[in-house]
Each structure stands twice: as C-alpha cells, then as structure tokens.
Structure 1
Amino acid sequence: MTSNLPPWPEQPLVGERVALRRADDRDIPMARSLSSDPYVPTIGSLPPDATHEQARAWIVRQRDSRDRGAGYSFTIVDEQADAAVGNCGLWLRALPDGRATAGYALAPEHRGQGLGADALRTLTDFAAQLSGLHRIELYIEPWNSGSMRTAESAGYLREGLLRSHQWIGGSRRDMLLYACLVP
C-alpha cells in the first residue's frame, strides 16, 4: 500500500530529554521489555513475553506504519542514556476529519521519570506540522493514573468518560478521553 501521508521526518524529533526516531533492530530489547508488562500486550500487537523474533516482527510493523497509511510510530530514546525506552505513535485514520489518536508506552523500568510526557509533547509538536490536523485524542483507562499524569503534563485536557468504549483483554472497557487542540 502506498501512503498519502507526509514522509518520515528526515531527522529524529528532539524533545527536552528524549528523541523520537523510526524503529529499528536496536529496539528489540525495549520491545521485549514492553512485552513483559501484563497490560501492554492487551492494547496492541506486541505478544506477551515476546521472543526475539516476535519483538523484531513488531518493530517491523511499527517501522512500516506510515507506509500502510496508519500513521507514525516512533521509538522513544532517552538521549542521556542513548537507549530506547518506549514507543509512541500518532494514528491518522481520522485525518480527513482533522483528528488523530496518539498513544505511548514506556518499558516498565523507565516509567515515572517524565520521559513519557516529554515524548508526548514532542509527538504533539510534530503533529502540529501536519496539514489539516486540528485535534489529537488519547484514550486512557480510568485506573491508569500514571498515564493520566503523563497526558496532563503534556498539555492534554480530560474531556470525559466513554463508557464501554474499547475492547481490551477480552472485555469492553471504559476509557477516559483526553485531547489537545493543535494550532
């Protein structure tokens, strides 16, 4: 499939403490760490306790997201440690309506350090450059206080509760809607 989306950024996107770059094989250990979290595999295509090969296949899917027309999936790199610490994405299926959805996940050992909020701010700055986009939405489960703090720290506002909104881990789940308007 050929995408109508703008090309990948030529250089990594740089925040205060993180850089966002296209996924590659250096990210296999980070992907395996993400897969060890009991929640992360329930919300995406990364299998639980991924093998090296499964983690690599997931990375290929992330790297090819733009070419499939889905959006942009970035590896989050802690610039000080020069290490991949997570993944974030901007999903543009609703772009004709001016909306996108963002998501982020940090490997368990890198949470609680503000890296996720920096990555989300950096991703949002990138999104503001895309023609026709005016709104980015996040969907967060009501129990996930860490993700709520990340969203709020990155400038997203809570708009409400969407009851039985999303199928996760074999059941319908309520989701909090957070959003950011882009200029």
Structure 2
Amino acid sequence: MLPTSVPRIDHPPVVLRPFAEHDAALVASVVDDPVIPLITTVPTTADPAAIAAYLRRQHDRLAQGVGYSFAVADAVTGEGVGQIGLWTADLPAGRTTTGYWIAPQHRRRGYARAALAAVTTWALAHDEVARVQLHVEPANEASWRTAEACGYEREGLLRSWERVGAERRDMYVYAAVRPDRALR
C-alpha cells in the first residue's frame, strides 16, 4: 500500500524528501527558467509569497489526492537541486505518472537519473502500481535519454498532447512497467 505521507527515499547521489522552507532558494533559482515555470506550478516571480505558496502546494499534493511531490536533494549536502513527482490520478487503473525538473545550476551531475530511478523503483515496489509513465518533449533529448537509462521504453508520440505556455506540444510517452505486470 502506498504510504499516506511523503517518505524519504535514499538513492545516492540524491535523496528524495518532502520540501522544506530552506528549499525556497532552489525555487527562486528557477523562476526565470525558460521551461520550468511553463510546465509546472513554479511561480514566474521570486516573490517570497509566491514561493511560499509553491512550497505549500507541494505539501498539499498528497492530501488532495494528486500524488507525491518530492524535493530532489544532494545526498551529501542535503541541498535541494530539483523536484520529482509521482502523480496518482490513474492509480485505480494501476497507472501513475512522473515528471521532474533539475535546476540548471545542478544539471549534468546524475541527479535526474538517480531521482527517476529512485521514484520508479519505489513506485513499482507497491502492488497497486503496475505502470509509471512519463511524457517528454521530443526536443528534450537529455530527459528522454534519462528515461531510457532508467529502463523506460518509448511507446509512441502523442501529437498536440500538452499545452506548454501558449503552444500545444507533441510529447513522447515513455513507460516503465513491472515485469510481473506486463502482458505477455
């Protein structure tokens, strides 16, 4: 059974944990990113009230039945480097969705791969989860290579799948499934 609180998941070089007040600096560091605020609820301003509201939303996700929002932190320093979620809207059908971001100043250090591997392994260890899926823009090669490195398989292209800013964008759909849950 999936837990009723956001757990701590250790998977060096990262730890996945609930967001904390000290993660405000991490959130502030990505408000000007050209993509992160477009596809997440990260605010577009470093206003302390907007950042505090973002942090509260991350804590409310599970209580609202949306899923788990984890801060991705460096396993040694504890410094927040990004976010990953496990979204459970389709859990009654055995499906979950994940998505993540890593702040630009922390990229290319293996954090995304470790975070995705950690959340995927954790999710698929629960009986009610048979599938974890992920949507990635075709141009985001770093993200789809991360998915493939974590055992996700590309299943297709979803045309005009998601609004990103003012545009509809195509997305690759990737999935990781438990071998004992895959159809043969």
Provide TM-score, normalisation by structure 1. 0.92
> Does residue 8 of the first structure (1) align with residue 5 of the second (2)?
yes
Q: Could you list the per-position Cα deviations for residues 3-56 of structure 1 after superposition, in whole angstroms to 9, with x for gaps in the alignment?
A: x9631255x100021000011201101111122211001112112233222111
User: Any unmatched runs of 5+ in structure 2?
Assistant: none
Q: Letter of the aligned partner of 1:20 in structure 2?
A: L
Contact 2:124/2:131 (<8 A) preserved: no
Q: What number of residue pairs does the alignment pair up?
A: 179
1:98 alignment counterpart: 94
**Contact persistence 2:133–2:176 (CA under 8 A):** yes
Match of 2:71?
A: 75
Question: What's the counterpart of residue 146 of structure 1?
Answer: 142
Q: Which residues in structure 2 correspond to 1:4-153 (within 5 Å)?
A: 6-10=3-7, 12-153=8-149
The reply on whether 1:161 has 2:157 as its aligned counterpart is yes
5+ residue gaps, structure 1, are none
Q: TM-score, normalised on structure 2?
A: 0.92
RMSD: 1.5
1:179 to 167, 170, 175: 175
